[in-house]
Amino acid sequence: MIGILFVCHGNICRSPMAESVFSSLVAAHGMEGCVFVASAAAHSDALGEPPHRGTREKLAREGIPLIPHRARLMTAADGDTYDYLIGMDDWNVRDMRRIVGERNAGKVCKLLDFSSRPRAIADPWYTGNFDETFDDIVEGCNALLKHLVAAGKI
């Protein structure tokens, strides 16, 4: 079973959105027993908070079930637990590598690194654009799933 941890700054916008989108994709392809998915924060700003209203509303409009969630902080142990540690931007990646240390730093990447157009996913906390964030996350999640299937991991 492959473990995937999605990480963003506070674990209330992008990473729970990615967790929900990827979990929905996995279920749609009948691969639930092959992957376990979670999300976490790189910083403690919003610990214990539910997903942002914009994330909840966008997922509802798209018909994607929101994974039951409260923001939690990424830990060094996550580096051992998960096979893929996936951030949304360069700041997340930097923080994630610091958290998991050198031994697991190679597991860290950005979600859109799996796409044909690697780039950061903008934080809708600042931009207010949950539609753009959602589109980028869907692109990245589809590319990640394709990568895992092509690599024979699921």
> What residues are annotated to the active site?
8, 14, 123
The radius of gyration computed from the CA coordinates of the chain, to the nearest angstrom, equals 14
Q: Please state, in angstroms and rounded to a whole number, the distance separating the CA atoms of residues 103 and 148.
A: 22
Strands (E), 9-152: 35-41, 84-87, 108-110
Please answer whether residues 126 and 91 qualify as being in contact, where contact means their C-beta atoms are separated by less than 8 angstroms: no
Give all strands of the β-sheet with 108-110 in edge-to-edge order: 35-41, 2-8, 84-87, 108-110
Distance (Å, whole) CA 130 – CA 117: 19
Q: Are 20 and 67 a contacting pair, CB within 8 Å?
A: yes
